[in-house]
Amino acid sequence: MSHILWIKNGRVIDPANQRDAVGDIFAVEGKIVDSISDTQKADATLVDAAGLVVAPGLVDIHVHFRDPGQKHNEDIRRGTEAAAAGGFTSVVCMPNTSPVCDNAGTIQRIMDKVEREAVVHVYPTGCLTIKMKGEQLAPTGQLKKAGVIAMTDDGACVQSNEIMRRAVEYAKMFDLPIMDHCQDASLTEGAVMNEGEWSLRLGLKGWPKAAEDIIVARNVILAELTGAHIHMQHISSATSVDILRRAIDRGATVSGEASPHHIEFTDADLSDYDTVFKMNPPLRTDADRESLIEGLIDGTLACIATDHAPHSPTEKDREFDAAPFGIIGLENSLASSLTTLYHGKRLGLSEVLALLTHKGAEICKLDAGTLSTGAPADICLFDPDEEWTVDANKFFSKSRNCPWHGKMLKGVVKSTYVDGQQVFDGQSINA
């Protein structure tokens, strides 16, 4: 018997198709269909979504699952469970695993494990350079054949402009977007937080915004030179937003993303040396935070991505200088984005969902983020107004390094479907 899903009475919001109305969603054999027959309705799994938003499954194009090699922090199973609990049905994994993803064998190893253990769609990326050292190009063609959907040295940044140019040219040849962690390492050695008033107050080495701005400008120049698409990850600086805005106005093939933590928190949140707020790039000033929000509003920043970066409590519970960078965010990303942008009256609900669905999918050319006919039946049901207090100790992720722990947010995921099958029911994983 074929599997049929019928979701009725929900407020269907599908930003890619400019749909926002109470209605029904149908899926047959894991694909969205326009309608089903009366006979099919009698056999369908019926879900009454009255009072809920029915949206495309969320898409995150920037996550770290630490698998292989760092499974004490996260692995494919627990990472995808966290994604499902957050309403995400498609995620793009970064290549800074152990070993790094600079060869087809490692990609195959990951894809085999995804096939066995993942509860949502997982798309791998490949390294730009061998061992992510920025010295020798990785085999782009082999990585594309193995299944990568983008190239990046995220977790590092290629410092040589010549090597970056060649990496960009090869990625363009294979029709792969480049995703870049923008950091001039010569300006950030030993730095642990934003350079400014709070770094002076706390006696911590400051990280100048120029370290990001310089590489963003470099990448704009290379995109205009080569015609390749370069996507700037986790933008944190007002100047970087301005550089991107001007480049996009000129027609440059560049894009950028903002992370939920950078549009909510600032460097003042580090006032008590809590390492849960230590991240790369660091939290900036309120003026930078406001510029990021303006960039999301006017389209300069194309999407929201979590940069979900798990670290065990034993790694994070150290003196500030020695603790690793990174936070988790998959399980509260929707709520934190809604709280800041929608309930903060900066964007409409459909506009926030666009940033969390089809806009990121389009950057990586994924068949995701829409409820179009024929699309995978990846669906998220949520209540945008329900309040909850974040308790990281109850998360599905293996790690607990969440700066929202103890905070009140608005927006609760009630159910997540992947290929028409429920994988999260609001409480537990069903896959």
Residues with catalytic function: 307
Distance CA(113)–CA(103), nearest Å, equals 16
Q: Which of 356, 338, 347, 342 is nearest to 411 (CA)?
A: 338
Q: Which of 232, 115, 117 is nearest to 164 (CA)?
A: 232
∠ CA 328-330-335, nearest 5°, is 110
Q: Per this entry, what is the length of the chain?
A: 431
DSSP secondary structure letter of residue 419 = T
Burial category of 208 from C-beta neighbours within 10 Å (exposed 0-12, middle 13-18, buried 19 and up): middle
Q: Which of 154, 152, 134 is nearest to 143 (CA)?
A: 152
Half-sphere exposure of 269 (CA within 13 A, CB side): 19
DSSP secondary structure letter of residue 338 = I
Three-state DSSP class for 57? coil
Do the beta carbons of residue 292 and residue 241 sit within 8 Å?
yes
| The two three-digit tokens of residue 290, written as one number | 């406001």
Q: Which of 344, 321, 319 is nearest to 411 (CA)?
A: 344
Distance CA(191)–CA(4), nearest Å, equals 54
Residues with Cβ within 8 Å of 41's Cβ and at least 6 positions away in sequence, in order, are 4, 6
Distance CA(264)–CA(403), nearest Å, equals 10
How many other β-carbons are positioned within 10 Å of the β-carbon of residue 184?
Answer: 16
Three-state DSSP class for 179? strand
Q: Which residues of 216-255 are buried (b: 16+ CB within 10 A; e: fewer)?
A: bbbbbebbbebebbbbbbbbbbbbbbbbbbebbeeebbbb
